[in-house]
A and B are shown apart, each in its own frame.
Chain A
Amino acid sequence: MIPITRPIKRKAIKPGVAGFLFTTPWLLGFLIFTAGPMLTSLYLSFTKYDLSTMKWIGTTNYQRLFTEDPLFWKSLQVTIAYAILTVPLGIAASLALALLLNQKVRGQRFFRTVFYLPSIVPAVASSLLWMWIFNSDYGILNWALGLFGWSGIEWLADEKYTLYAFAAMSLWGAGGGRMVIFLAGLQGISETYYEAARIDGASPWQQFRSVTIPLLSPVIFFNLILGVIGAFQVFTQAYIMTGGGPNNATLFYALNLFRNAFEYFKLGKASAMAWVLFVILLIITAIQFWGSKRWVHYEGEAK
């Protein structure tokens, strides 16, 4: 007798479940490595935790940060000044560079590669390089300034100049990444807009102001958001080059946070600092999104 075999019924997986299954690795990674530590640090920010004992102290860490810690305010001030200095400057410089590299000239690919290279140099290596450049006695920068009669500027030792030195360095390091994004944005602008503008008699400046800038505004907005977040997270350069000095002139927020956590073992305070930074960035980003409605134009968007 031949046994009767019934066909195995495979239960169809609903598309939603399949999607969920596919995203499970990411979700697990997010929960374990991002959301978990974030919530832990939120809890820690209400404790006094020094790696050996943990004690719930409510909002004391936050209160002390705002009312009793001059270095918290100093580091916030340094970081905000750095962001104000570097973000607009960085966006303008990388946009200018992208415009230049968008021209059809011989060796275009070579120049694009060369200008992108600094952004793949590790921060530690570029910090050491810039320490040479900024050396007040033997550095190439002071040598060049000396040709115009300026000399002896202590770029990394005089608190009047250190932030400008860091800003110059940021243009070199982060400019390449932003430049590539701008370049991609520029190449996405159809030539027909420029042709139409030219037919209407627009000058190159008018074309830039009335065609390039509006159509590139989503990319500028993207770079603005990332630039502000990046500026608030500066750490390696200050850690390597100045250690926060001179006289705390380069004590960036992230460096101060790191010191509290891993040098003084004030992990509760450091967690509170991390959450304050998170809230600051959240507010700044929200303001940027709110303001973007006035100046960011998306193609096909009805206004």
Chain B
Amino acid sequence: MRASRRIGPLSRYLLPLIAILAIGCAEPEDGRVHLRYMAWGNVQQLNLEQRLVDEFNKRNHDVEVKLFKVPANSYKNKMIVMFASRTSPDVVRVDHYDFPQLSERNYFRDLEPFISRDAEFKKSDYFPLAIEECLVDGRMQGLNVLFGGGIMFYNKKLIRDAGLEDPYALWNRGEWTYDKALEYSVKLTKFDSTGRPIQFGINMPPMPFYLAVIQAFGGRLLNPALDKCLLDSPGAIAGMQWIADLRWKHKCCPTPAQGANAAFNFETGKLAMEFNYVGMTARYNELITKFDWDICPMPNGPKGDSFFVKGNQLVMYRETKHPEEAWRFMKFMTGPIAEDILYIQERRQAPTRIELGQSEGFLHPKKPPFNMESVAMTIRRGKTLPIGPRWPEVMATLTPELDNLFAGRETDASVAMRRATAAVNKTLREEPGL
């Protein structure tokens, strides 16, 4: 009696509160397995993710997946904190830029045991490059989604009005080169009577497109072991000089200020050609109504093509309590139903499955872009990017040096690239994590 009186306030207020918290934190007991899936994206992408999750839940009555949305700008921080604090969702979409860095910390579950005992899953169903991106020491640690490569969008009306031939036709004849792209860019740039630009020929190739440009000139960012910068090679310098000259010598590409606030985005109709991913298709089909447009591969350079690939990886959190169900969900997200929705119906990127990548629906769509063979070539023949565990450090070191070149403070690419190479090599020589 006395004891109960003593814990009176405790039992009256604190215990119910603890009980409510405990109930709130526990999995609901409805006989189903509850999974969390973390992803980011714009509104359209997240709606699509939700649609895929709903499709999975509809087909799997014993599992319920909940989409955990995180804004893009805080995604990496959230992901790291959740992995490190062992509160991560069961399945996480990871940008390939972060994949090697995080996999090095053992946050992901090795998928090989699941693959080896799953008769439905065959690596041979997927494009080899889509598999290659997910390998860590030869073992699969993720499944590729939103996979694709760099291509060029072009405004057919502006090109026709300027009396120029369709770039895709040039590509098919093997004449779509960086020299030709420069010639087009200059011819397609227009200024008003006061000298203000009203139309630009091309956009500045962003990261990682500039790596594809230097690839075509025979250069590379890093050696295959990813421990030495190669930007001071003649090929890399020539590629970077071509890019810088677009803006500062030929003035056929907007400066950062001119291009700010989306003034010369492709959808405005004031930009003739654009380096971008085919994933922009959905947006362009929604926004562009006043001109016709299409895509072609990035130009060929003196030392080869500019094909490259990059995707995101779906990974399974190492300590998930429901690995089998998580695997089932991951398999669904890269399976024929989800890929059909993502890449044939909604055209977010390119399929990872060979059958879909060669399908009529993907190669011959009813809406632009029509030259989908450009994408198919990219995912067949592209190169993976030199992204390793120290990618963020490499980029943070490289960016100020590239800024100098791309912002016109340094006009000679050889000077900028020598400095960049020295800086990146210094970073790479430092002990990781120190």
Q: Interface code A260-279, partner B: CB below 8 Å = 1, 0 otherwise?
A: 00111110110000000000
Evaluate contact between B393 and A137: CB separation under 8 angstroms: no
- Give chain B interface residues in 390-431, CB to chain A under 8 Å: 390, 392-393, 396, 399-400, 403-404, 407, 409, 431
| A51 interface hit (Cβ, 8 Å) | yes
| B136 interface hit (Cβ, 8 Å) | no
| A64 interface hit (Cβ, 8 Å) | yes
Partner of A157, one of B256, B390, B396: B256
- A48 — which chain B residues lie within 8 A by C-beta? 431, 433-434
- B431 — which chain A residues lie within 8 A by C-beta? 48
If A51-B105, A264-B396 touch, does A60 touch B261 (CB 8 Å cutoff)?
no
- A132 — which chain B residues lie within 8 A by C-beta? 261
**Nearest CB in chain B to that of A159: its residue:** B409
Evaluate contact between B403 and A49: CB separation under 8 angstroms: no
**Nearest CB in chain B to that of A267: its residue:** B433
Evaluate contact between B393 and A138: CB separation under 8 angstroms: no
- A230 — which chain B residues lie within 8 A by C-beta? none
| A192 interface hit (Cβ, 8 Å) | no
Evaluate contact between A259 and B399: CB separation under 8 angstroms: no
| A126 interface hit (Cβ, 8 Å) | no
Evaluate contact between B400 and A247: CB separation under 8 angstroms: yes
- Give A265 to B434 CA distance when docked, in angstroms: 9
- Give A135 to B255 CA distance when docked, in angstroms: 11
| B263 interface hit (Cβ, 8 Å) | yes
| B170 interface hit (Cβ, 8 Å) | no
If A135-B257, A262-B77, A266-B434 touch, does A157 touch B407 (CB 8 Å cutoff)?
yes
A102: min CB distance to chain B, Å: 39
Evaluate contact between A51 and B84: CB separation under 8 angstroms: yes
| A248 interface hit (Cβ, 8 Å) | yes
If A136-B257, A263-B392 touch, does A246 touch B407 (CB 8 Å cutoff)?
yes
Evaluate contact between A246 and B403: CB separation under 8 angstroms: yes
Evaluate contact between A245 and B104: CB separation under 8 angstroms: no
| B285 interface hit (Cβ, 8 Å) | no
- B72 — which chain A residues lie within 8 A by C-beta? none
| B45 interface hit (Cβ, 8 Å) | no
| B101 interface hit (Cβ, 8 Å) | yes
Evaluate contact between A268 and B257: CB separation under 8 angstroms: no
Evaluate contact between B400 and A157: CB separation under 8 angstroms: no
- Give A133 to B255 CA distance when docked, in angstroms: 17
- Give chain A interface residues in 252-294, CB to chain B under 8 Å: 259, 262-266, 268-269
Total interface residues on B, CB under 8 Å, equals 30
- B255 — which chain A residues lie within 8 A by C-beta? 137
Partner of A52, one of B106, B390, B434: B106
| A131 interface hit (Cβ, 8 Å) | yes
Evaluate contact between B261 and A138: CB separation under 8 angstroms: yes
Evaluate contact between A265 and B404: CB separation under 8 angstroms: no
| B31 interface hit (Cβ, 8 Å) | no
- A135 — which chain B residues lie within 8 A by C-beta? 257, 260-261
| B174 interface hit (Cβ, 8 Å) | no
- Give chain A interface residues in 125-152, CB to chain B under 8 Å: 131-132, 135-138
| B76 interface hit (Cβ, 8 Å) | yes
| B163 interface hit (Cβ, 8 Å) | no
- Give chain A interface residues in 84-141, CB to chain B under 8 Å: 131-132, 135-138
B432: min CB distance to chain A, Å: 7
Evaluate contact between B434 and A131: CB separation under 8 angstroms: no
Interface bin, chain A: 20 to 34
Evaluate contact between B434 and A137: CB separation under 8 angstroms: no
A44: min CB distance to chain B, Å: 12
**Nearest CB in chain B to that of A248: its residue:** B400
- A245 — which chain B residues lie within 8 A by C-beta? 399-400, 403
| B258 interface hit (Cβ, 8 Å) | yes
A60: min CB distance to chain B, Å: 7
A46: min CB distance to chain B, Å: 12
| B337 interface hit (Cβ, 8 Å) | no
B354: min CB distance to chain A, Å: 35
If A154-B257, A245-B403, A246-B400 touch, does A52 touch B104 (CB 8 Å cutoff)?
yes
Kindly name the residue among B83, B84, B257, B432 whose own CB sees the greatest number of chain A CB atoms within 10 A: B257
- B390 — which chain A residues lie within 8 A by C-beta? 264
Partner of B404, one of A53, A57, A137, A247: A247
- Give chain B interface residues in 32-85, CB to chain A under 8 Å: 76-77, 80, 83-84
Partner of B260, one of A64, A138, A263, A264: A138
B3: min CB distance to chain A, Å: 14
- Give chain A interface residues in 54-69, CB to chain B under 8 Å: 57, 60-61, 64
**Nearest CB in chain B to that of A132: its residue:** B261
- Give A265 to B261 CA distance when docked, in angstroms: 32
A255: min CB distance to chain B, Å: 11
Evaluate contact between B434 and A60: CB separation under 8 angstroms: yes
- B393 — which chain A residues lie within 8 A by C-beta? 263-264
- B84 — which chain A residues lie within 8 A by C-beta? 51
Q: Interface code A152-167, partner B: CB below 8 Å = 1, 0 otherwise?
A: 0010011000000000
**Nearest CB in chain A to that of B2: its residue:** A8
- Give A132 to B261 CA distance when docked, in angstroms: 7
Evaluate contact between B433 and A137: CB separation under 8 angstroms: no
A137: min CB distance to chain B, Å: 4
* A residues whose Cβ falls under 8 Å from a Cβ of B: 48-53, 57, 60-61, 64, 131-132, 135-138, 154, 157-158, 243, 245-248, 259, 262-266, 268-269
A-B complex: 6 closest residue pairs judged by Cβ atoms: A50-B433, A136-B257, A52-B105, A263-B392, A137-B257, A247-B400
Sampled A-B contacts (27; CB under 8 Å): A48-B431, A48-B434, A50-B432, A50-B433, A51-B83, A51-B105, A60-B434, A61-B434, A131-B260, A135-B257, A135-B261, A136-B257, A137-B260, A138-B260, A154-B256, A154-B257, A157-B257, A157-B407, A243-B399, A245-B400, A246-B403, A246-B409, A247-B400, A263-B396, A265-B105, A266-B433, A266-B434
